[in-house]
Structure 1
Amino acid sequence: MSRVRLPPVFLQHAHLRAGSQSAQPTTTNRDCPSEGCKIPVDIILRSSDGKSFGAHTKNLEVFTEGFPPADLANRSDQPEMEVVELPETSAILELFLKYTHNQRQPDLGKYPFAVVSGLAEAAEKYLAYSAMEVCRIQMRAQAQAHPMDVLMYASKHNYPDIRDAVAPFTLGLSLTKMRKDLAPNLFIAWVQYREHYLHAIQTVLSSPPSPMAQHKGGFWTCEGWLAFDSALLAKLGGGTFTLNDIRAFPTLVDQLMPLHLKDCAPCARRAQSWAVSASRTLSAAVPSFESCM
């Protein structure tokens, strides 16, 4: 039986077999996974975990650029439908095929991040434009929860806006992990970006505002300020500051002020001034990640 001729972009990611056994256990269900679809199935896509899905060569041609034209796939001398083995899991492949139909798109907010990120990779790989933009939006929304995955996705597929958005959330990751997982040029850019934050931290912590007014007895610092300062250090890891901690500095100040400084107006103003100056310092001192590339 002759094989379907695939363009180079597709050959990198698929292996075709006709009438052979997969290394993974397979299912016999070859229906189209798109609910209500009445288009005849003329090709079988098999996931990495052995599940087969019916698909339509014309739809794959229209909705993607990574699959061969339908007239190449539909050969009259083929006694059976070809089986195309893909590296995507069944959960990802089933979702991907829904984007090769003229129908309402699935709600990606209902799917686990691993499936959404896998769909995002499949959309980029097979050039499924109907899925690429919605995946880009979903990946950006997961920047704080999954910073490393989103950074690598944005860098691999050249989304500088997402890279800028996710970069601050990677600052709490270890230098060892970043060196191991990132490409050399991306790691160098990340280190340069991180250095700007380190300098900003030093500036913020070494320059609290001066006391606003003397307290009773001629003291410039009251017990409330000492309690506030101790609580702030405790919230920031007992003096062992991480880059993620320092980004939360202004928020922590706002949270601790009512607990420790509600009876001292001068110290409350001093704390507010510190939070404002910290925000300004961090905003002004740290460039976009893209500028470090």
Structure 2
Amino acid sequence: MIPYVRELDFEYGRIDQVSPLIRRVIANNPGPFTYLGTGTYIVGRGEVAVIDPGPDLPDHLEAILAAVAGERVAAIAVTHHHSDHSPLAAPLKARTGAIIYGCALAAPVADEPNAVRLEADHDDAFAPDVSLCAGGRIAGPGWTLEAIPTPGHTSNHLSYALLEENALFTGDHVMGWSTTVIAPPDGDMTDYMESLERVRAGRYATLWPTHGPPVREVAPFLDAYVAHRLERQAQILRALEAGPARIADLVPRLYTEVDPRLHPAAARSMLAAMIDLVRRGTVRADGAPGPASEYRLA
């Protein structure tokens, strides 16, 4: 069982000092993809970095500006291009002159026709001033952020390590309140599992997701996060021992505890797992792996 952390003392727009170097302001955009809302982090004092400015909400922009009144915003660091993370970067830059850091998409994402939406919309206009797709550092007085490529949730996802506190801002890569959505075509389970191992290897003291409270018992939480994904894959393999099947056949059998209304979402998650299993040679598909393909053990 994943030891979820879901309790958080907050008010929308309130500035909370959550560690010696970190302040947080939460946007009023709660929902199934954002939990309580987008948590925007401000790192440092005097000269600061803003991580994941969030959705383009005027009230949230004003809350961020109030939080940094009298200070210089030197950097805006974005974890990925979803509309609950990146759209406010450009308006915040216009008001502060800060440099936007992040990783642009290699190409616009074309979702499959009629595919159920599991995530916020794509911010196709997101274009950082400085690319950190291969990693890199952003530094200010008393703080250093190191960009850690963590693709999987999206192809351009970055996490940011705050070296002075051995902490990691995980965006949507790891969240305390929920598992992370991996939805093809931009989401990739193979990349995601490799990225999880990269985060585990960092031995961080605290994880700061963009949505929800921090994860402070990091090692056991990540162990459970990985185990959950591996168990889902093991369930698929056990089901395929009975013979070839399609995702539409497997979802009702493997997600009996899930409300049937959520089965389309479960099917997208299973597709990500199937693509990974096909790549690893464990499962075969009748052609390119897709939502309607027939799968069998290799």
Taking structure 2 as the reference length, what is the TM-score of the superposition? 0.28
Tell me which structure has the larger Cα radius of gyration.
1
Taking structure 1 as the reference length, what is the TM-score of the superposition? 0.29
Bigger strand share: 2
